[in-house]
A and B are shown apart, each in its own frame.
Chain A
């Protein structure tokens, strides 16, 4: 379960944090995104995906969407959400 999107500390993007904490299967998320034609950089402990706005998905579950537009951030997050909720929480 993810808490609502909020402005990140630096103010340059929006973040969502899972509650309770969870560990994501990034390999699975990467495969799913690439199947949809999304370009993904895999840094093992996080993915950076080109989802309209550049989005970081960390292994610890945190999602950061690089935009200052809250509506855009929400659109991107809703697109990503099925993949995050699909994942089995391990914490």
Chain B
């Protein structure tokens, strides 16, 4: 079985995606991009509770990397075009996950993305976001609709955790672009020191 790095948000989708891979016997390392101060403590506390449940169910250690992402968000807001903020943010998340994958000997990345639920999940934006990494990306939920995902979440016990009250990410722009192209995104990234920012964030990650 293979070892992968999973981006986990505290939402409904990511623990369901983990469940599908864990039940096949794959090993996973979880990465949570900590968006404080643009959210509250609830996403992290949900992630911790999701992993506690999944560790017990699948008898896997499931290490969790908590990567500080707030300073990255501030830099993106100050220096780049807000409309593509979600795509830029996702690119940072993917690259941070890939760095951690190198460290952990993982050979693939995983996400609970479905198609078209939010601005960052249109095909156009997913393509632009994932152009930032080289490892294969597995999306176990890509063919499921929201209702199907929620049904599985309820059956594995993560739905109640995911739907606890919390503050949604405040870094999402008012009018996020639903389409983007790589030329445009790379131009925005020239305004900032991407590699240094990723280095800093991954270096400061806390492993739980």
* Interface residues in chain A, defined as those with a beta carbon under 8 Å from any beta carbon in chain B: 8-13, 41, 43-46, 48, 54, 56, 58, 60, 64, 66, 68
Contacts and interface: CB of A to CB of B under 8 A. Distances in A.
Contacts of B40: 12-13, 54, 66
B42 interface: yes
* Interface size classification for chain B: 10 to 19
A9 B170 contact: no
Contacts of A64: 167, 170
B174 A10 contact: no
Contacts of B38: 48, 56
A44 B75 CA distance: 9
Contact of B167 (A44, A45, A60, A66): A66
A43 B165 contact: no
Contacts of A8: 167-168
Contacts of B173: 45
B176 interface: no
B168 A9 contact: yes
B186 interface: no
Q: Is the interface of B mostly helix, strand, loop or mixed?
A: loop
A56 B165 CA distance: 18
A4 B42 CA distance: 24
B170 A45 contact: no
Nearest to B166: A12
Given A41-B74, A60-B174, A54 B37 contact: yes
A66 B36 CA distance: 12
B78 interface: yes
B77 interface: yes
| Closest CB pairs A-B (n = 9) | A11-B165, A12-B167, A12-B166, A43-B77, A10-B168, A44-B78, A43-B74, A12-B165, A48-B37
A70 B74 CA distance: 28
Interface in B167-188: 167-168, 170-171, 173-174
B121 interface: no
B73 interface: yes
Contact of A10 (B37, B167, B171): B167
Given A41-B74, A48-B38, 14 more contacts: A9-B168, A10-B168, A11-B166, A12-B40, A12-B166, A13-B40, A13-B167, A43-B74, A43-B77, A43-B78, A48-B37, A56-B170, A60-B174, A64-B170
Interface string B147-179: 000000000000000000111101101100000
A11 B168 CA distance: 9
Contact of B42 (A12, A48, A56, A60): A12
B165 A10 contact: yes
Interface string B58-100: 0000000000000001100110001000000000000000000
